[in-house]
Amino acid sequence: MAKMRVWELAKELGIDSKKLLALLNDRGEFVRSASSTLEPHVVRWLRSPVPDPTAVIVAGNAGDTTLVLPNPSSAAGTSLNAAGVGDAQSGVTRSGWHAGPIAAPRDPALARHISDLCAHYTAAATHIDALKRLGSQFVHVNHSFSKGFTSVYFARVRFSGAIENGFGFTREALFVYSPFVDLHSRLVSEIRRELATCGPRITPDIVFVSAPDTRLRSKLDDWTSPELLLIPLDVPMDENPQAFMTLLRDYLHKPDLFYETTAVSGSKFFGRRRLLQALRDDVKMRRVAGVFGLRKAGKPSVMT
């Protein structure tokens, strides 16, 4: 059976092709144009008249057909507004990487600490705004008291449910803000001390670093070890929050899983959500399903 193209499905649903492309891209179905083809399970989701238990509702303008897209973090479908955007405070789930948004913290002390951070680092304000638009929030801020590092700030970020599921995060992530234009490797020791202080609340092997050092990326790449991945916050996010998602893809998809000899799980397992959903649908509908692929394609991991 021939795959359906975007424009054909848009015509069937009674919506504009550009709007359907935007919704698909926002959800992570990166299709190039209206002539691109769609996988059968994506078409099934979009055609479904009833919300799937693992889907979010993305409503168009008045009179448009309601679309159902997969939601990796919501237990039930939730209606969104005309822009496909929800509000965490009102309990509405966002689509795409916004799904499963974190409620904005209301602690006055935290608000003061965030304000202090933004006063010292204008980049932090940009990051906070971009992460909010991705359903994520700064949940803790403090600064270092070690000699020579008193101006270094540490912030903990809780990512949206979609980001956590998509990239394997199960805890808060550490964001580091340094004022040094010539970053020194001693900062890594300070980061390790902070991670030890945070204990099990923090992701122990992934840290995001912001500094005005023009060689930030090359230095962090050099200081990264198998036990600690240092990601530079050196991409502009003021107008495009998706730049942060690109940064995550660039760094968190780098590990070579071909060195694994057994099925991977936990934070090492990612990028197979659509396949798992399709297999789940096949099982529910009692259809014959199979997993085929080249050697080291991840078949045991999918089945596990």
Whole-number pLDDT of residue 234 = 92
Give CA–CA dist 140/112, Å, rounded. 11
CB-side neighbour CA atoms (13 Å) of 123: 17
Give CA–CA dist 193/207, Å, rounded. 13
Q: Which residue has the tokens 């449910």?
A: 161
How far, in Å, are 75, 202, 226 from residue 199 at the CA level?
Answer: 29, 6, 19
Whole-number pLDDT of residue 88 = 40
Whole-number pLDDT of residue 49 = 56
Give CA–CA dist 103/137, Å, rounded. 8
Give CA–CA dist 177/246, Å, rounded. 20
User: φ, ψ for residue 23 (rounded to 5)?
Assistant: -65, -40
Whole-number pLDDT of residue 258 = 61
Measured at the CA of 108, the angle between CA 106 and CA 109, to 5 degrees, comes to 120
Give CA–CA dist 42/29, Å, rounded. 9
* Whether 76 contacts 53, CB under 8 Å: yes
* Whether 135 contacts 108, CB under 8 Å: no
Whole-number pLDDT of residue 148 = 66
Whole-number pLDDT of residue 77 = 34
Whole-number pLDDT of residue 31 = 72
Whole-number pLDDT of residue 275 = 87
* Amino acid code (one letter) for 276: L
DSSP string, 138-160: EEEEEE--STT-TT-EEEEEE--
CB-side neighbour CA atoms (13 Å) of 215: 9
Whole-model pTM above 0.85?
A: no
Give CA–CA dist 260/20, Å, rounded. 38
Whole-number pLDDT of residue 96 = 74
* Whether 74 contacts 56, CB under 8 Å: yes
Whole-number pLDDT of residue 80 = 33
The pLDDT tens digits along the chain (304 residues) read 577 888 888 888 888 888 888 877 766 666 778 888 887 777 877 776 543 434 443 433 333 334 444 443 333 333 333 333 344 444 443 447 888 889 888 889 999 999 999 999 999 999 999 999 899 999 999 987 766 667 899 999 999 988 888 888 889 999 999 999 999 999 999 999 999 998 888 999 999 999 999 999 999 999 998 889 999 999 988 878 888 998 998 888 644 556 666 777 776 677 788 888 889 888 888 899 889 988 878 888 888 8
Sign of CA dihedral 273, 275, 277, 283: negative
Of 49, 48, 43, 14, residue with least CA distance to 31: 43
Which two structure tokens, joined as six digits, stand for 195? 């991670």
Give CA–CA dist 71/94, Å, rounded. 9
Which two structure tokens, joined as six digits, stand for 240? 């495009």
Whole-number pLDDT of residue 20 = 85
Write out the H or E segment, with its range, that includes residue 290.
none
> How many Cβ atoms from other residues are within 10 Å of residue 208's Cβ?
22
Whole-number pLDDT of residue 143 = 83
Whole-number pLDDT of residue 172 = 95
